Structure 1
């Protein structure tokens, strides 16, 4: 009995670690976006994106320097990452610009059309195979998007297009990552994407504020950056730290666990965001949004379930639709991880513990 008490507990499986990381990341991303929605009444969207990017830079740069190879500061792929940063910054500027006009659940539901768009772009430009089942799931998902947008209603306007533009730019950035391949680690990709996005958001903000007439309802798109109070500085710091922590957790999840297993847990963002929006602001999404949400989530989870059932050759590339899609998080390349149930054998065929 005494000896048994000293037996160490078995290590947590990679799959379980991945699930815990991605769910924790979703919780933090919801917190980040709720903070963004509240802070847009005081600060312009450009300032919030810039601050969040600089906070991530201050975290990731020392981490990359400390870890060293295979992470690298200089990469010849920086023009691709600059293109991704432009897509990322402009897309999420559209995403957050819609916050004052739409409920959080509505914006998020439309954004989650990104996996559908990415899978379609990958099939067109990268010749990735889409079987009959996945094609049917994509069709159902796009029907869900149309229902969520509800273009036949009298409430449809240009605001509903903004989350879709964000989803499209996000999908294009994912396709770029897929085209580049795994020549850089996820930390290097994240460092460049986040850093560049903080830089390019400034000229984007100047251009938008010059082109648009900034009325009181568009005050969150102004280019004047107010000097924050001490409390405001703390809130901005928390915003940056929460976003960086969420990004790191989700990146880690896709590095250590099979993406097809943990991808459905990305969708935990939707009900959590909807619940908190209801509790904080009394937001009740329309029935069209709820129906569209069910179809979009069902499409993504069915695709993930199919990936678990369909055997693949070791050299076959996983479909791009299984990478991470989280509001406010730059897409990351995942490294192939050992399956949690894999068994290693020595030369004599004995199991290595």
Structure 2
């Protein structure tokens, strides 16, 4: 999922929260639609539909908000390519994982992305990781291991489930790609607008998905075609809602509501796919959510501290 990089001063936090919850729900519905067709439609083809049919939605949004010009303008085209590669790989791997794992489990494991972002930002951006954030990262990775334990070990005399192990590998690799995309976005935010990052990612992922045609696309049935087109439209709408949410409220207020996706995934997974969550999955998800919230809280505290320091150093402060 893309993270907005800029916003005006805080205006309506409750509206921002509502928009964020809407975007989270729509993204989960989109994932459910992809899961329905995942047994027959190749991953590259689902990425194409998800990206291509989001383009008109995003263009209409940019035009309505009078940001069409800024959305098309870029000072760092190569940055968009690298961000697009990482983001498209993340999307494709997540879509592939949906064929092997329950929807709630894919959702829970994807929460590793913000935790991995802390590590990658330290490695590639030189961001300082102090003991508090490092502890939160360790806690979060511990939650991931709680979820993985029944999947990757012999529990109660049972055999290792190779299919589930593949699904876990796919979703964790997707989380790593998401974290890498977030690092690219942080670097690009100095020169690129949020509208530009959103638009060019959609274009890049559409083009990259076409490269998978030689690997075998299929002719979707009418039902599959409708589901795929709807997934693309919903993906574009969810992207807009998320972007608008961060324009209405501070990131520290909005970010924790990302974890509402776990509740939505549990409900949809149970009702639509008859997926019953395991105690290990629920426990691990709770640990990861707690770690993520600790990181968000710490980021907010550091942001406030930096703001006070800038104000103290200001001649007019």
TM class, shorter-chain normalised? 0.7 to 0.9
1:304–1:74 CA distance, 2 compared to 1 (3 A) = closer
1:31–1:309 CA distance, 2 compared to 1 (3 A) = same
Does residue 76 (structure 1) correspond to residue 75 (structure 2)? The answer is yes
Partner residue, 2:31: 33
1:134–1:68 CA distance, 2 compared to 1 (3 A) = closer
Give the Cα separation in 2 of the matches to 1:204 and 1:224: 8
Q: Is the 8 A contact 2:61 2:240 kept in 1?
A: no
1:240-275: CA deviations, max 9, x gaps? 211111111011112221111111100000121012
TM-superposed CA distance for 1:232, in Å, is 4.3
Give the Cα separation in 1 of the matches to 2:166 and 2:42: 20
Give the Cα separation in 2 of the matches to 1:245 and 1:69: 16
Does residue 184 (structure 1) correspond to residue 192 (structure 2)? The answer is yes
Uncovered stretches (5+) of structure 1, i.e. residues with no partner? 1-11, 210-222, 318-353
Partner residue, 1:272: 264
Give the Cα separation in 2 of the matches to 1:91 and 1:272: 21
- Taking only aligned residues, the RMSD between alpha carbons, in angstroms, comes to 2.3
1:74–1:228 CA distance, 2 compared to 1 (3 A) = farther
1:297-350: CA deviations, max 9, x gaps? 010112223444553223989xxxxxxxxxxxxxxxxxxxxxxxxxxxxxxxxx
The structure 2 residue matched to 1:155, chosen from 161, 183, 200, is 161
Q: Which structure exhibits the higher relative contact order, with contacts defined as CA atoms closer than 8 Å and separated by 6 or more residues?
A: 2
Does residue 95 (structure 1) correspond to residue 103 (structure 2)? The answer is no
TM-superposed CA distance for 1:234, in Å, is 3.4
Q: Secondary structure at the match of 1:285?
A: coil
1:70–1:184 CA distance, 2 compared to 1 (3 A) = farther
1:143–1:56 CA distance, 2 compared to 1 (3 A) = same
Give the Cα separation in 1 of the matches to 2:73 and 2:94: 30
Give the Cα separation in 1 of the matches to 2:103 and 2:264: 11
The structure 2 residue matched to 1:256, chosen from 235, 248, 256, is 248
Q: Is the 8 A contact 1:123 1:130 kept in 2?
A: yes
Partner residue, 1:347: none
Count of aligned pairs = 290
Does residue 225 (structure 1) correspond to residue 218 (structure 2)? The answer is yes
Give the Cα separation in 2 of the matches to 1:62 and 1:276: 29
Does residue 235 (structure 1) correspond to residue 227 (structure 2)? The answer is yes
Does residue 313 (structure 1) correspond to residue 310 (structure 2)? The answer is no
Q: Is the 8 A contact 2:104 2:266 kept in 1?
A: yes
Give the Cα separation in 1 of the matches to 2:274 and 2:68: 49
Uncovered stretches (5+) of structure 2, i.e. residues with no partner? 1-9, 155-159, 311-317
Give the Cα separation in 1 of the matches to 2:299 and 2:248: 17
Q: Is the 8 A contact 2:107 2:262 kept in 1?
A: yes
Q: Is the 8 A contact 1:55 1:241 kept in 2?
A: yes
The structure 2 residue matched to 1:52, chosen from 45, 50, 53, is 50
1:11-42: CA deviations, max 9, x gaps? x9521111011001111111111111112244
Give the Cα separation in 1 of the matches to 2:182 and 2:285: 22
The structure whose residues are more often helix, as a share, is 2
Does residue 168 (structure 1) correspond to residue 185 (structure 2)? The answer is no
Q: Is the 8 A contact 1:122 1:128 kept in 2?
A: yes
Q: Secondary structure at the match of 1:313?
A: helix
Q: Is the 8 A contact 1:90 1:204 kept in 2?
A: no
Moved more, 66-75 or 114-123: 66-75
TM-superposed CA distance for 1:170, in Å, is 0.8
